[in-house]
Amino acid sequence: MLLRFRERALAVKKRPLPPVAGDERMHFLEQSQNDFQDFAIIADADGELVDGVLTLRIDLRGDSSS
């Protein structure tokens, strides 16, 4: 599952810009950035499956707290 999210994050990065302009272009770019961030956060998670329950551990402290 985590590999799938890594692949999706890369796909968003490589997604071509459709022929849109103005507000629609800005919305598309903002949505692409949000999609990439969401997929990348999950892709970087540590996953654990215990008794059928998937737990994702995501460190949001940033590099300085490591």
pLDDT in tens, 8-63: 888 988 888 888 888 988 999 999 999 999 999 999 899 999 999 999 999 888 77
**pLDDT for res 65:** 54
pLDDT band at 64 (very low <50, low <70, confident <90, very high): low
- What pLDDT is attached to residue 16? 87
Q: Which of 30, 31, 28 is nearest to 17 (CA)?
A: 28
Q: Specify the pTM.
A: 0.67
Confidence at residue 3, expressed as pLDDT on a 0 to 100 scale: 86
